[in-house]
Amino acid sequence: DAKTTQPPSMDCAEGRAANLPCNHSTISGNEYVYWYRQIHSQGPQYIIHGLKNNETNEMASLIITEDRKSSTLILPHATLRDTAVYYCIVPWAAGNKLTFGGGTRVLVKP
């Protein structure tokens, strides 16, 4: 998998936007960027994915830079329930296995 780099932790104020960065400078042209999160004591949860265009769904927005070497996951109005570890993944292997790195531990504070 293309290597991704994320900050180990970040805090966010409840109600504010949370911007989670991810670097994937070795990404190739046909590799997608996927984001998952894992709330404490739960299984990971798929959030969103994209190739080169910005994407938005009911959970988050994904902004990918034009050179595709980095991306930002945006939680528009963070709530306490968004406290979790967020994983940025660039998978490529056949079989669709996901390789989880260290992720970013996000703490949403009241």
Number of residues that bind other proteins (CB under 8 A): 21
C-alpha distance across the termini of the chain, in Å:
36
- In the bound state with other proteins, the residue whose beta carbon lies nearer, of 53 and 96, is 96
- CA pair distance 103, 85, nearest whole angstrom: 6
- CA pair distance 60, 45, nearest whole angstrom: 13
Dihedrals φ, ψ of 4, to 5°? -120, 150
| 35 belongs to the binding site for other proteins (CB under 8 A) | no
| 91 belongs to the binding site for other proteins (CB under 8 A) | yes
**Min dist. Cβ of residue 63 to other proteins (A):** 19
Which of residues 10, 14, 21, 44 is near other proteins by CB under 8 A? 44
